[in-house]
Amino acid sequence: LLSARRLKLLRPEAYVVNTARGEVIDENALARMLDAGELAGAGLDVFEHEPAVNPKLARSSRVVLLPHLGSATLEGRIDMGERVIINIKTYQDGHRPPDRVLPSML
């Protein structure tokens, strides 16, 4: 989604924040633009080749990196556990779980 071409459309005072999926940002282009002062900064909770972190981004003083903590809240973890229980019970009752993952999705 955020290729080098699209990143160049951002203003120099822009901050890029990604808590979705690492693959949505061209990290090498982001690192180049940050080093050149073409972007103000970035906050990343996910990485293009997770668990590896792009070393150019890790060295940048314009980047805040978190180890995929976006869902690490008490409420989030409780919700995840409840969804697992619902999926297991639904499957055991002979129905399709609401949050199933199909092989074609992998």
* Active-site residue set: 21, 50, 68
Q: Name which of 74, 105, 81 is nearest 89 in CA terms.
A: 81
Topology at the third CATH level for domain 4-65: Rossmann fold (3.40.50)
pLDDT greater at residue 70 or residue 48: 48
Confidence of residue 69 (pLDDT cuts 50, 70, 90): confident
Share of the chain above pLDDT 70, in %: 98
pLDDT at residue 43 is higher than 90: yes
What is the domain partition of the chain in residue ranges?
A: 4-65, 71-97
Tokens of 5: 């071409």
Q: What is the pLDDT of residue 106?
A: 61
Q: The tokens 């499957």 sit on which residue?
A: 91
- Selected residue with higher pLDDT from 52 and 106: 52
Contact 60, 34 (CB under 8 A): yes
| pLDDT computed for residue 27 by the predictor | 96
